[in-house]
Structure 1
């Protein structure tokens, strides 16, 4: 017989196990588990090893294997032992042919079934004694379904606080699933702000379900700032939240444009329209042309214009520079995306830009930065370069660290009056 059997259980304890697993437990020469797990089997006659220290526990198991003529070690663990469980450590310590695994339902399986949500496409992240960086990455990618295994520091409240601190242009329902299958099981839905001061049982899993656009609640326009609209106030590409010009970068770009009243402004590669809409709010007497090559992008710009109640943004579907042909000559041009046609766009903008006009180009790659700097290296342009490397503070348990945004280069160019 295989000497080590690893049996997963739930909060129902031994009552949720099949009869052959009960037989294995009854025959065990040593029973291993946490204090909570061992309490499910108070009358077991064999030796007990309480897992308060994993290294010591593994050493005690090895000693029993070495000293007992017919050892049968049964390790009791939660759920599926090979799903962020003790099974991985056992496989690192003992040969695989010494181990046999008997999984129970994992907390993640139970949680999604309680929510009646298919979960084959979910991303499961453990922050139990781990960094929160994987969770941040999943949010930045806009993953639709996320299950988070928590601990006493990375609690539902700490996770909600971290999410809010990132100011991402996406929204999630937060489901906290406590004591699954226990008599005191609770499954509750929260908005992240309402989670900040909540406390829960230590046995919980958090399920995050990304909002669809139609489920978004509209922002209170009266509470929004005059400059620096928060990213999360915009409708955005839920699966590509990183494509929006971030609030901090947007503020700097708008300052570099040196906006004035009664101007014609082109926003090329408008994306979600964040720059165009913020421009339209700052100078309502100006006319802003948001040029976007994708139909999905123009739909989002239209939704955002309605959301922010701006009526001086004109949405242009098409690829620059061809899409610029029928627009009035601009006083200001912002280029946030070029679709691989940066040089052609700059050639065209040079012909159409007002003599006192300004171009601001936002660049995220070194290749495009090189193309732009080479293009503007002419005596008829006055050029300034701005390299932007910003970090935002994020909570880490009871402390705070800085997480960097992607670096961006801004080029501001105006015609040389000489």
Structure 2
């Protein structure tokens, strides 16, 4: 296959810092693609055709594809495969048609400056992404590296840390790493005021929390108090059992049918940064709860579908797992879910009412799987003493869709 497209990573040292192979790819290209900063690195008088990134970026990608068969070179910052344009291009162009030459990423350069191990840090990009994802990576002792969206990002991050009780965290902003204008600014999140910064910067954070700061594990079973809800909440103990039964793997998609306040989908996504979920719910107030909870708990990319199953399930991407927390007795809900579930996928249904329990028994008889009765008791005050109060019992059905 003809390799007509090259993607060349460039550092702050510009074209002079490129390897011999990277320079050859730039020199022989008939079309050069990049942002203004990258294109300004080319020699004065360079008459080759230029493509400048536009918004939406899809229009620029289509323009690149229109030059297929010509030699096209995309200039990128650092490592194009680390939150970079290389990842975006590969969604539409086969790797067999591309040559990718990376430069050191901002993360690698920051670790080299700070003496941090790259394998022991949390890496986040806030370039074109919802800042709420930052809420999902904060915990005491964490070392965070963040690609900024601009010179405003460090102050925004400092404010978020302070609001979460991590105002004592050490922050370091690293500007223009690898160039003659490299600069490092240090400070504490709670007293951060620096705004005179370069747009091209990376933030390093050593997370330190105040006493009694609330933070949440990434394991299933967050406290019920972590969620805004109207009572339609899978309780903590049942939620932990349910997520264990769903068994999320990185990159898998969950349908959370009858999502309530979104707790199952949110904790599915918190289990790994590449897990994705769709929450299907029809109640307007609960839809707002889902959105608020997803933002607060660091999963703003949770997709929310307003509507009732099975109608709302039409045209959704095929799931790897399905949780039915509500609406099991509605006609065609299970049938639609089962038809759409991938072979090898898991379906988990929690039955609370007698009617839904009866349906679960019938379905288990027809499709197999495991039935578990979940009975939880919590200690609560009875006058001066403690007594056990039983929660509503749950019948849980777990079934794997095997080839017919």
Q: TM-score, normalised by structure 2?
A: 0.53
1:232 to 2:232 alignment: no
> What secondary structure sits across from 1:94 in the alignment?
coil
Q: How far has the Cα of 1:154 moved from its partner?
A: 5.9
Q: Is the 8 A contact 2:126 2:147 kept in 1?
A: yes
Post-superposition Cα deviations, 1:71-112, rounded to whole Å, max 9, x if no partner, equal: 111100000101101111111121221111100011111111
Give the deviation of 1:156 after TM superposition: 0.2
The 4+ residue runs of structure 1 with deviation greater than 4 A are: 236-242, 401-405
How far has the Cα of 1:182 moved from its partner?
Answer: 2.1
Deviations 1:224-262 (A, max 9, x none): xxxxxxx8135x8999699xxx9x99xxxxxxxxxxxxx
User: 1:365, 1:50 → 2: CA distance?
Assistant: 50
Deviations 1:366-410 (A, max 9, x none): 579xxxxxxxxxxxxxxxxxxxxxxxxxxxxxxxx78668xxx99
CA distance in 2, matches of 1:60, 1:240: 45
State the match for 1:347 in structure 2: none
1:49 maps to what in 2?
Answer: 51
Residue from 182, 186, 206 that aligns with 2:183 = 186
Tell me which residue corresponds to 1:89: 88
User: Who is 2:203 aligned against?
Assistant: 206
**In 2: Cα distance, 1:7 partner to 1:237 partner:** 44
Separation in 1, partners of 2:296, 2:130: 16
Whole-Å Cα distance in 2 between the matches of residues 164 and 32 of structure 1?
40
Aligned to 2:382: 413
In structure 2, what is the Cα distance between the partners aligned to 1:134 and 1:110?
Answer: 23
Q: Kindly indicate whether the alpha-carbon contact (under 8 Å) linking 1:127 and 1:154 is maintained by their aligned counterparts in 2.
A: no
Residue in 1 aligned with 2:159? 161
Q: Partners in 2 of 1:404 and 1:50 — Cα distance?
A: 36
Q: Distance in 1 between matches of 2:15 and 2:113?
A: 22
1:316 is matched with which residue? none
Change (3 A) 1:116 1:366: closer
- Corresponding residue of 2:300: none
Structure 2 residue aligned with 1:129: 128
1:48, CA displacement in angstroms? 1.0
In the alignment, is residue 63 of structure 1 matched against residue 62 of structure 2? no
What residue number does 2:169 align with? Answer: 172
* Structure 1 match to 2:13: 12
Q: Distance in 1 between matches of 2:26 and 2:88?
A: 21
Query: Are the aligned partners of 1:178 and 1:186 in contact in 2 as well (CA < 8 Å)?
Result: yes
Q: Distance in 2 between matches of 1:175 and 1:124?
A: 15
Distance (whole Å) between structure 2 residues aligned to residue 127 and residue 190 of structure 1 = 20
- Cα 1:207–1:118 change in 2 (3 A) is same
The equivalent of 1:25 in structure 2 is 26
Check conservation: 1:4, 1:73, Cα contact below 8 A.
yes
CA contact (8 A) 1:119 1:145 kept: no
Give the superposed CA RMSD.
Answer: 3.4
Q: 8 Å contact 1:157–1:199 — kept in the other structure?
A: no
Q: TM-score, normalised by structure 1?
A: 0.51
Q: Shift of residue 200 of structure 1?
A: 1.3
SS at match of 1:124: strand
Q: Bigger radius of gyration, 1 or 2?
A: 1
- Check the 8 A contact 1:174/1:207 in 2, yes or no: yes
Q: Show CA shifts across 1:327-384 (max 9, x none).
A: xxxxxxxxxxxxxxxxxxxxxxxxxxxxxxxxxxxxx84579xxxxxxxxxxxxxxxx
Asked if 1 retains the 8 angstrom alpha-carbon contact of 2:151 and 2:201, the reply is no
Aligned partners of 2:178, 2:238: CA distance in 1, in Å?
55
Cα distance change on mapping 1:412 and 1:200 into 2, 3 Å: farther
Quote the Cα distance in structure 1 between the aligned partners of 2:238 and 2:71.
63
Partners of 1:26 and 1:44 within 8 A in 2? no
2:149 maps to: 151
Q: Report if the CA contact (8 A) 2:151-2:199 is conserved.
A: no
Structure 2 CA distance for partners of 1:158 and 1:237, relative to 1, 3 Å? closer
Equivalent residue, structure 2, for 1:76: 75
CA contact (8 A) 1:142 1:240 kept: no
Consecutive unaligned residues in structure 1, runs of 5 or more: 212-230, 250-363, 369-400
Using a 3 Å threshold, how does the CA distance of structure 1 residues 103 and 366 change in structure 2: closer, same or farther?
closer
